[in-house]
Amino acid sequence: MSFEVADFWRRHMRWQTQLWNSTVMMGITWLSVARRIQPSGLENIRVLDWERGVCLVSNHRTYYDFFVICRRLNEEPSFPPGNLLFPVRAPFFYDHPVGPLVNMLMSGMAMFPPILRDRKRRKWNDYALDRCVSELEHHGAVVGIHPEGRRSQSADPFEVGKGHVGVAVIALQAEAAQVVPVFLTGITNDLLSEIRKNWMEPENYPVYLAFGPEVDLADLQTATNDLGTSRKATNRCMEAITALAEDCRRRAATGRVTAEA
């Protein structure tokens, strides 16, 4: 039932999702991080053809990662806010009675489709990945993916974990889409604490956000579609994210602040 509700909303209520996310959710992220974001690599997103579809691949630290990323992207004139999609792990959001309500309040049902943990239901996850590929074929579609799957629990805020091949399935099959690596660090899951930091001590709690150049997968898209090819594509994405993480680590070590372009 949770899937049917989200699927109906996705197919028929997209403008309501856009309205909710561009007002309420952008307002919440403005309150919590707007004064703290230190972006880099903006030139990499300004050359994108958003009409072709964009697959954002990012590290995973908190529940709010893509909200913060979209907060900054929303400031770009060419960014299309109306066709966002964020695959999410099914536990709670799709297998708990309150899950759909939280999904609605947090994202306007943009956290879709669900990814299941049960290996016996692999066919469902194959469908979910295919759905992401088909969504990327729509004009202006933006799909945000965490290749790591789970949130990182590392004490090192700049550490990037191992990626799963699901991201490669999407990136390799959606041939027209642009795959853009993103790294984000500096936030927690405590929303009230983040709001306090944003207004009381923004200079002491910077949020580092880095966008990399498009990951070139053209040679792999024409190769044999097997596990080895998917692993190579995944590694290429994770290497790009790791490079961004190391750049942010250097910026943090030197205290270098990025001026908004």
Residue 77 covered by a domain:
yes
- Domain count for the chain: 1
Residue 27 covered by a domain:
yes
What is the distance between the alpha carbons of residues 248 and 257, in angstroms, rounded to a whole number?
Answer: 11
Bond from prior residue into 81 cis (ω within 30 degrees of 0): no
Phi-psi domain of 23 (left: phi exceeds 0; alpha: psi -120 through 50; beta: other):
alpha
Residue 261 covered by a domain:
no
Q: Which residues are 54's β-sheet partners?
A: 142, 178
pLDDT > 80? residue 121: no
Q: Which of 90-94, 196-200, 248-252 has the lowest mean pLDDT?
A: 90-94
Identify which has the larger pLDDT, 231 or 226: 231
- What is the per-residue pLDDT for 256? 62
Q: CA 53 from chain center: how many Å?
A: 14
pTM for the predicted model, two decimal places: 0.90
Q: What is the mean pLDDT of residues 126-131?
A: 89
Residue 187 covered by a domain:
yes
pLDDT > 60? residue 261: no
CA distances from 233 to 63, 152, 169, 172, 221 (A): 25, 21, 9, 8, 9
Q: What is the CATH number of the domain that holds 221?
A: 3.40.1130.10
Residue 110 covered by a domain:
yes
Mean pLDDT of the chain: 89
Q: What pLDDT, in 10s, does the model give residues 169-221?
A: 898 888 889 999 999 999 999 999 999 999 999 999 999 999 999 999 988 88
- What is the per-residue pLDDT for 42? 95
Identify which has the larger pLDDT, 258 or 101: 101
Residue 95 covered by a domain:
yes
Q: What pLDDT, in 10s, does the model give residues 50-88?
A: 888 899 999 999 989 999 999 999 898 888 767 888 998
pLDDT > 90? residue 144: yes
Torsion sign, CA atoms 72, 135, 103, 92: negative
- What is the per-residue pLDDT for 22? 87
pLDDT > 60? residue 123: yes
Residue 165: give the domain boundaries.
2-254
Q: What is the mean pLDDT of residues 135-150?
A: 87
What is the distance between the alpha carbons of residues 34 and 28, in angstroms, rounded to a whole number?
Answer: 9
- What is the per-residue pLDDT for 100? 87
pLDDT > 90? residue 15: no
- What is the per-residue pLDDT for 159? 93
